[in-house]
Structure 1
Amino acid sequence: MNTDGLVYVSLAQLMALEFKARDLSFLARQPQGSILAGNHASRLRGRGLNFDELRRYQPGDDLRHLDWRASLRTGKPVVRTFTEERDRPALILVDQRMSMFFGSQRSFKSAVAAELGALAAWMVFNAGDRVGGLVFNDQRIDSIAPLRSRKRIEALCSRIAQQNQALNAANPDAEGEDQLDKVLQHCLAVAGHDHLICIVSDFAGAGERTLQLMRQLAAHNDVIAMQVYDPLALNLPKNGRVLVTQGQLQVELAVDRQQVHQPLGDFLSGRLKDVATLLRRSQVPLMMFSTATEAHEQLRAELGKLTGGRR
């Protein structure tokens, strides 16, 4: 198998992305500019201690934590108590369904998604947090529990590479099945509260149930959507032929014919816009990634847009 990183990825390739992720972060220097703005951003690492409560002074308390204003107001010594900030878990959801096994320029969607999943994992690890994930295809979901260790990132990247290399044009499609919703439901059961959840997918098959699940996830967690798309969906060539495959069925379409070009173009661009609109309705931050450009360069640009655009 040719693991050139464009059609199929290798474990070594995903592990090597550690170096490209070093200057990337989901957090901006200023908290209000963070992609993870809101309640959860205030609890992210970098502050050391979080204020917990005011209570009466007890022998042995650190005098540096005396709250003089509260003490003068109540006439009794009052101290501020703190809880130590803990690392938080992250789940990276990586889509390797048959809908991802396509690319008209440079890379396949499945390969771009694999790289984005690995980059997100390294970014989380570099921030000092725990990394886990869900890697899924049309038939199965591989679950890796969050842990802060390189071995855990290697386990996650290994599952991504395995599922990626199992993709084949002869594999049957599972169109119509709600595998994406099953994965989000599984994530909801696993995540609980205060997780960072990155969903890397083309979001094929997304619907109202998907929207509902993403809103549920975002209610108590930071959720980021990374939508992978192929440029063909935005700009269908005016002439020539396009080979469309579905499992073992292959159909060649003459796109220079108006009766083929117009409906196919409308379908592809409409489908992409519908999914993007749905994701925006969920109010989850959305980043879009083309198969035509390197994943890490796009991620840098998208993070810049989202963190720089907040006011």
Structure 2
Amino acid sequence: MKELLKKVRQIEIKTKRLTNNLFMGEYQSSFKGRGMVFSEVRPYQYGDDVRNIDWNKTAHFSEPYVKVFEEERELTLMLLVDVSASQNFGTRKQLKKQTVAEICATLAFSAMANNDKVGLLLYSDQVELYLPPSKGKFQALRIIRELVEYEPKNAKTDLNAALDFLLSTQKRKSICFILSDFTDINYEKSLRIAARKHELTGIRVYDEKEEFLPNIGLANIIDNETGEMRMINTSSASVRRNYEQFYRRVRDQFLNIFSKSGAGTIEIRTDQDYIKALLAYFKSNHAA
């Protein structure tokens, strides 16, 4: 427990400083006030948008009535985090799951500073843990603790399970970040449906050795999600080429599916500065 608290505190100190110094303004300008919520129904006035006419009230009172909406000042941020076994990989600075924890902490503290709710959903090929959205520092610290401490029950990945759960629990529009390496298949339909209701962004976290296979001769390669082990000859140019082609297929699939669904994308390598990538995304998101 002492070691756990130390890890949580280290992440808190690092990410809170980044949030306060660099991040807060971009988070706020990117998302604050994006949502619109129903306020009231009133008689139609000249200049009102006819698309907002409430036809039931109009028929009842025999005169036009319109629905009035106002900006939603309180947002809900949902973090959907892949905890499958492929996250336990890293060859340079840190494991993928450690980078994911820091990114989530940065986003959670941004939401906290903006007085927004933040929730957490951990998933493998099933929903492993759900923390309903809530405000405050205690919630942010609990999210960090779960990301550091949680031991997944299953090793495989199925984003569909997480997206279905999101739709069943979050009835109002939320800002949703999905953090994964996206070595998954057949999630396009679920993502498209979820993107109609929520503002989705996929954050693909990867390691440089997933992109390029080093030439180190014969090596045992283990698939963390299936436990399968194979010996391959990394000196073979065709083996390295096939490895790189697989990586590109995973990456292209991620970018294409999210783009077609109208969702945003961020790509972050474990040994690179994730704050720069987040800031660039938020600036472009705000400009759009």
Work out whether residues 93 and 117 of structure 1, in 8 Å CA contact, stay in contact via their aligned partners in 2: no
TM-fit CA distance, 1:186: 0.7
| SS, match of residue 186 in structure 1 | helix
In the alignment, the residues of structure 2 paired with residue 10 and residue 18 of structure 1 have an alpha-carbon distance, to the nearest angstrom, of: 14
TM-fit CA distance, 1:144: 0.6
| CA offsets 1:267-292 (integer angstroms, 9 cap, x no match) | 22222222222222222011111112
Unaligned ranges ≥5, structure 1: 45-49, 57-66, 71-80
| SS, match of residue 104 in structure 1 | coil
Amino acid at match of 1:256: S
The equivalent of 2:268 in structure 1 is 289
In the alignment, the residues of structure 2 paired with residue 233 and residue 181 of structure 1 have an alpha-carbon distance, to the nearest angstrom, of: 24
1:215 corresponds to 2:214? no
In the alignment, the residues of structure 1 paired with residue 94 and residue 108 of structure 2 have an alpha-carbon distance, to the nearest angstrom, of: 21
Work out whether residues 27 and 110 of structure 2, in 8 Å CA contact, stay in contact via their aligned partners in 1: no
Between structure 1 and structure 2, the one with the greater Rg is 1
TM-score, structure 1 length as denominator?
Answer: 0.71
Match of 1:21 among 8, 19, 22: 19
In the alignment, the residues of structure 1 paired with residue 190 and residue 283 of structure 2 have an alpha-carbon distance, to the nearest angstrom, of: 27
- Relative to total residues, which structure has the larger helix share, 1 or 2? 2
- CA 82–187 in structure 1, closer or farther in 2 if over 3 Å, else same: closer
The equivalent of 1:59 in structure 2 is none
Amino acid at match of 1:87: E
In the alignment, the residues of structure 2 paired with residue 110 and residue 14 of structure 1 have an alpha-carbon distance, to the nearest angstrom, of: 13
Report matched runs for 1:244-263 at 5 Å: 244-247=221-224, 250-263=229-242
- CA 138–213 in structure 1, closer or farther in 2 if over 3 Å, else same: closer
Match of 2:168 among 173, 189, 199: 189
1:110 corresponds to 2:97? yes
Aligned-pair identity (%): 18
| CA offsets 1:236-273 (integer angstroms, 9 cap, x no match) | 33x22455223565444332212322222222222222
User: How many pairs were matched up?
Assistant: 262
| CA offsets 1:101-135 (integer angstroms, 9 cap, x no match) | 11233222111111111111112222221111112
Report matched runs for 1:1-311 at 5 Å: 10-16=7-13, 17-22=15-20, 23-25=22-24, 27=27, 29=29, 34=30, 41=34, 43=36, 54=42, 85-138=72-125, 140-163=127-150, 166=151, 173-174=155-156, 179-207=158-186, 210-237=187-214, 239-241=215-217, 243-247=220-224, 250-308=229-287, 310=288
Work out whether residues 127 and 162 of structure 2, in 8 Å CA contact, stay in contact via their aligned partners in 1: no
| CA offsets 1:208-247 (integer angstroms, 9 cap, x no match) | xx2222222221221111111222343333x224552235
- CA 118–69 in structure 1, closer or farther in 2 if over 3 Å, else same: closer
Work out whether residues 203 and 266 of structure 2, in 8 Å CA contact, stay in contact via their aligned partners in 1: yes
In the alignment, the residues of structure 1 paired with residue 47 and residue 246 of structure 2 have an alpha-carbon distance, to the nearest angstrom, of: 65
- CA 84–254 in structure 1, closer or farther in 2 if over 3 Å, else same: closer
TM-score, structure 2 length as denominator?
Answer: 0.76
Amino acid at match of 1:24: F
- CA 186–289 in structure 1, closer or farther in 2 if over 3 Å, else same: same
TM-fit CA distance, 1:14: 3.0
Amino acid at match of 1:12: R
Amino acid at match of 2:216: G
TM-fit CA distance, 1:185: 0.8
Work out whether residues 233 and 272 of structure 1, in 8 Å CA contact, stay in contact via their aligned partners in 2: no
Work out whether residues 167 and 194 of structure 2, in 8 Å CA contact, stay in contact via their aligned partners in 1: yes
